[in-house]
Copies of this chain bind each other. A is one copy, B any other.
């Protein structure tokens, strides 16, 4: 634990070193997404505009960064996983657009700008989500930047579809809506998180792993452990920021969870115990990376950055 605390202190005091890497990845994925979205001039123009508004509207691009960092750890280049990183981000963005809808979380603000249904309209926002999903799968099937092996691409389709479905993201959102205002225990909360945010974070790491033919099963298992721990820690951190953060750095309303009577770690076990849980998971995530030695430096730095972030 002291080691983790030290790493976080170091990461916080030298944000420029890894920060520059993150910014490079962010610019890369921004350009990669831009070139893969239909042009706003193509019919139906309003839908394409709304897709571009939603996808290119900023964001930290954490999931692509996880994919890139895993690729680097495994000796792949960013080029080889860029299309997969786009696919993951498209699915993530679609989920934000739908989660923001009036019938769901009813949010007006996202990344400091009006949400898609506010900037456009509800029907368009529904269709943006509906259209981003197949675009993600189409990239996995067709994008020339990915490894050409159909077997690898098909495994990516399998991973992404599993992570998006009812045992992944969509199921997590359904559980989330179902538990608001209800008494639930921490195990139920963690099952919800494992699906709602954990599944896509895990898929980000495992999709990069899948691009290495014949990867050692031990390396695969270690990455799975890393991603599972980091996914949950990330979500608890997010819920902590909702309690502790302020609107100007987050770019969205804070205190929203309490307002919705959403059961979260801070609400159930308190702020301090939640911070301790993040620390513990952080340690587990780093321990899982030991197998890779120095090669895992990008993943370690990303984990440290994710769990020390203030926004």
Contact = CB atoms under 8 A, between A and B. Distances in A.
Q: How large is the interface on A (under 10, 10 to 19, 20 to 34, 35 or more residues)?
A: 35 or more
A46 interface: yes
A226 interface: no
A160 B134 contact: yes
Given A140-B157, A141-B157, A47 B134 contact: no
A254 interface: no
A126 B177 CA distance: 12
Contacts of A134: 133, 160-162, 164-165, 168, 170
Nearest to A125: B103
- Chain A facing B: main interface SS: helix
B142 A122 contact: no
A44 interface: yes
Interface in A100-155: 101, 103-104, 121-124, 126-127, 129-131, 133-135, 137-138, 140-142, 149-151, 153-155
A44 B174 contact: yes
A157 B171 CA distance: 22
Interface in A42-76: 42-44, 46-48, 51
Interface of A: 38, 42-44, 46-48, 51, 94-95, 98, 101, 103-104, 121-124, 126-127, 129-131, 133-135, 137-138, 140-142, 149-151, 153-155, 157-158, 160-162, 164-168, 170-171, 173-175, 177-178, 191
